[in-house]
Structure 1
Amino acid sequence: MEAKIKPLKNTLDIEYQRCSRCVLDTTVSDIWFDDAGVCKYCHIHDEMDRLHPLENMEKDLKRIVNRIKRDGRDKTYDCIVGVSGGRDSIHTLYMARQLGLRPLAVYFDNGWNTDIAVSNIRKATDLLRVDLRRVKADREEVIDLQRAFLKASVPDADIPTVYAIHSVLYETAAKEGVRYILNGHSFRTEGTSPISWTYMDSRYIKSVHNKFGSGVVRSFKFMTLWYLLYCVFIKRIREVRLLEYVDYNKKKVDEDLALDLGWVYYGGYHHKNLYTKFFQSFLLPNKFNIDKRKTELSALVRSGQLTREDAIDQLEAGAYEYDRSVVMYAVSKLGWKLEEWETIFYRAPRSHKDFRTYLPLIRLLRLPIWIACKLRILPYILYLKYAS
């Protein structure tokens, strides 16, 4: 397989350019640069930094925590935390307990998580005395969704799981009467994934699934736009990105989690899940010329946790390494023979633009979306990434 499958050539018809501040470059098709050579995603980072300045973080965090406690005082739980076993989600759960919150941990099991990730979840919820709710997806439904996106030949092949997690969290919050979902994403350490690399909405997922799969999901809630609007405007559920209100340093967090919760690192960016490991380390770089290390490294450069020179050195030291056994395991679990998989792999790349999405509607409604974001009804990153 290694000898046969070779990276597809970059088909961008523009001169190569790398951001003068971070390490994102013209392999991102929707990127633009200002007169100083600084990229679109650095500007997004700066806008988020203005919204969440570190000098105000203690005051802002206290205000948010007090509101969560007040709104949840008559409930068994005052917030929901999705846990995957990774650094960000486990640290978010840990922070919630340290801040005196009463979270319900929710784990969406799509059948691909590593033993390390599952152990991290178990140890954290046990030691922190947090109730854990496991939502197990039907194996065949998950495989059908994943196969559909791989057949569609789009670089968003991991979003069915990501969207399923969001769907399950909103459904759980609605059923429990909980108004806050604590999100473990940090723009300071993960950045913002380019829209041309990762696009996600329910119409898009349904469009791909109907064309290349069964279009049927019964084992877990798959959130429609209307259900999301119901949760946001009727149930008044809010997402809070708790890590945006702290000085989040990956190395320090790893040390603290290992010491206090017995947390174990799983060896790579989102490699706690074997499908994501296959997808990010093998499929994206070799088929789409997408190296997601650039997103995380750029975020660390912008937040001062890594120099740009060191980030470039890491990228130029070698291609994103993949484990051949993980690739073979994924192909087998997806139900394909090697020859079938190679046919799928060599299909011409496509994008979300080739399918029905809500993106035209989102951009049409950019003003009300901006207002909703300013009122903290919706996460502001939604406007910056999709509507601006």
Structure 2
Amino acid sequence: MIKLEPNIEKASVQICCRCIYDERVNAITFDDEGVCNYCKQIDSLQNEYGTGIEKGNKGLEAIIQEVKKSGKGKKYDCVVGVSGGTDSSYMLYLALEWGLRPLAVHYDNTWNSAIATENIRKVLSALNVDLYTHVTDNKEADDIFKSFFKASVAEIEASTDLALAETMYRAASKYGVKYVFEGHSFITEGITPVGRNYFDGKYIKSIHKKYGTMPLKTYPLMTFSRFIYWAVFKRIKKIRPFWYIDYNKEEARAFLEKEYDWKYYGGHHLENRMTAFFHSYYMPKKFNTDFRNNTLSAKVRMGKMTREEAWKEYNLEPHLEEDLLEYFKKRLSLSNEEFDEIMNRPPKSWYEFPTYKKRFEKLRPLFFTLAKANLVPMSFYLKYCFPAKINK
């Protein structure tokens, strides 16, 4: 977002009195006391899942026993998505601590940082965990990224998130596993508003069809029918253990560094170079959107930062890797002139292209039932199954 006065008391926009979400955040509302609806959403989820208290611990323990029972006689009883980042690396360690037999699953969009690749190797080697990887052809991956860039939509990284989900489902199905573990925490990350953060298989296919130049042969596209197949017919459950327990990201990072010589990559979501471009340059420069407010607001809610400290940091320029822009241009065969021309085009939004969004909304009762049964993430239901209020 456009940076404002770093002194929170002098800022010219309304800011939540509990976090640093401000009036520019999509679909935000404030109650009479100045608390935003996203803080209330976190409170509601924390109460529902019993995060960090006996209710949550017992809930997760019951799930772990289900996983062990379901996995009897099988080589693996769960799959864990890994990226080389803090959350997924620590999740793998915890799975073993809980007595599970995880299969690590990685989707390689060919933009991994060297640090992330080495982190995955170190942790898996130390824990003696097998790895299932799907690697998309690098030219095909680049063609998808370039098509989103040319379309001037925000979700340039959407293909990676969806492909990882599809890859984890495929791995689980191949080995007869009924549980997928994801290292997401609404406490430490929040749930990103859907405004500039939408993706589904139809959206990816429609953008690529209009702006791409080569067929999708190796990319693991999750269509609506495949989504329903995995959730309803294969009954593969999505579990997010950090929603139940007291998870401290800083302690997890310190543990990984000490035990496995794991290396920090500089910031949340920066372990992949395309993701780093998205967070550090593309969204702030083209869409005046800075997703650091998610993590910073979470730290304020947890009492790890004051609102004043978080707001001041939020109004600093994001960290940008020295050669990242040149790497992006080279990978996507963009001249300086073409890159600048596309960056200066008027931004477009996901709702201007074909998506499954209306279908998700019509099937809201189905997805509520699936979310309560852990067959789709609750965050999917909350973000995708209600009419979107978009800031224009």
Both proteins in one fold, TM over 0.5: yes
Q: Partner of 1:3 in structure 2?
A: none
- Residue 303 of structure 1 deviates from its aligned partner by 2.9
Instruction: Indicate conservation of the 8 Å contact 2:371/2:377, yes or no.
Output: yes
Given the two structures, how large is their TM-score scaled by the length of structure 1?
0.93
Q: Distance in 2 between matches of 1:334 and 1:9?
A: 29
Q: Structure 1: 5+ residue runs without aligned partners?
A: 1-6
* Change beyond 3 A, Cα 1:166–1:376: closer
Deviation at 1:9, TM superposition (A): 10
Residues 106 and 132 in structure 1, CA contact (< 8 A), matched pair in contact too: yes
Judge conservation of contact 1:144–1:213 (CA < 8 Å) in 2. yes
Show the counterpart of 1:293: 292
Pair 215,162 (structure 1): closer, same or farther in 2 beyond 3 Å? farther
Letter in 2 for 1:385: K
Q: CA deviation at 1:170?
A: 0.8
For the aligned residues, what is the CA RMSD?
1.8
1:243 to 1:321, Cα distance in 2 relative to 1, 3 A: same
1:361 deviates by: 1.6
Distance (whole Å) between structure 2 residues aligned to residue 141 and residue 26 of structure 1: 39
The alpha-carbon deviation at position 70 of structure 1 amounts to 0.5
Tell me if the contact between 1:27 and 1:289 (Cα under 8 Å) persists in the aligned partners: no
Q: Conserved in 2, the CA contact under 8 Å of 1:8 and 1:287?
A: no
Residue equivalent to 2:125: 126
d(CA) in 2 for partners of 1:213 and 1:202? Answer: 15
The secondary structure found in structure 2 opposite 1:188 is helix
1:356 corresponds, among 339, 350, 354, to 354
Please list, as runs of the form range in 1=range in 2, the aligned pairs for 1:257-336 lying within 5 A after superposition: 257-316=256-315, 318-336=316-334
Partners in 1 of 2:59 and 2:26 — Cα distance? 36
Deviation at residue 8 of structure 1 after TM alignment = 8.1
Return the offset for 1:324.
4.3
How many residue pairs get matched?
377
Q: Does 1:23 align with 2:58?
A: no
In the alignment, which of 340, 355, 379 is matched to residue 342 of structure 1? 340
Find out whether 1:139 has 2:138 as its counterpart.
yes
Q: Which runs of 4+ in 1 moved over 4 A?
A: 7-10
Change (3 A) 1:260 1:205: same
> SS in structure 2 opposite 1:246?
coil
Superposed, which structure 2 residues align to 1:106-255 within 5 Å? 106-214=105-213, 216-255=215-254
Give secondary structure in 2 for the equivalent of 1:108. Answer: strand
SS at match of 1:68: helix
Flag the 1:180–1:60 CA change in 2: closer, same or farther, 3 A: same
Are the structure 2 counterparts of residues 124 and 312 from structure 1 closer, same or farther at C-alpha, using a change threshold of 3 Å? Answer: same
Amino acid at match of 2:321: D
| 2:381 equivalent among 355, 365, 383 | 383
Q: Is the Cα contact below 8 Å between 1:108 and 1:135 reproduced in 2?
A: yes
Conserved in 2, the CA contact under 8 Å of 1:152 and 1:350? Answer: yes
> Which one-letter code corresponds to 2:162 in the other structure?
Y
Q: Of the candidates 29, 35, 40, which is equivalent to residue 38 of structure 1?
A: 35
SS in 2 for 1:134: strand
Question: What does residue range 4-23 of structure 1 map to in structure 2 within 5 Å?
Answer: 16-23=13-20
Residues in 2 aligned to 1:215 and 1:19: alpha-carbon distance in whole angstroms:
46
Give TM-score scaled by structure 2 length.
0.92
Quick check: 375-384 or 259-268, which moved more? Answer: 375-384
CA distance in 1, matches of 2:332, 2:384: 31
- Closer, same or farther: CA 107–217 of 1 in aligned 2, 3 Å: same
Matched, 1:374 2:341: no
Residues 52-102 of structure 1 deviation map (CA, whole Å, 9 limit, x = unaligned) = 212123211211111101001121110111111000110111110111110
Distance 1:216 1:26, change over 3 A: farther
* Contact 2:81–2:181 (8 Å) recurs in 1: yes
1:215 to partner: Cα distance: 6.6
How far apart in 2 are the matches of 1:221 and 1:194? 25
Structure 1, 321-330 or 112-121: larger mean CA deviation = 321-330
Question: What letter corresponds to residue 303 of structure 1 in structure 2?
Answer: M
Cα distance in structure 2, aligned partners of 1:104 and 1:127: 14
**Distance in 2 (alpha carbons) for counterparts of 1:376 and 1:268:** 29
The equivalent residue for 1:99 is 98
Shift of 1:116: 0.8
Rounded Cα–Cα distance in structure 2 between residues aligned with 1:30 and 1:145: 29
What amino acid is the match of 1:356?
P
Aligned amino acid, residue 278 of structure 1: F
Structure 2 unpaired stretches of 5+: 5-11, 387-392
Which range moved further: 36-45 or 144-153? 36-45
Q: CA 1:215–1:233 in 2, change beyond 3 Å: closer, same or farther? A: farther
Residues 83 and 107, structure 1, Cα contact 8 Å, conserved in 2: yes
Matched to 1:383, the amino acid is: Y
| 1:375 Cα deviation after fit | 3.2
Q: State whether residues 239 and 374 of structure 2, in contact with CA within 8 Å, keep that contact through their aligned partners in structure 1.
A: no
Give 1:342's aligned amino acid: D
Contact 2:13–2:22, Cα closer than 8 Å, also in 1 = yes
Shift of 1:258: 1.0
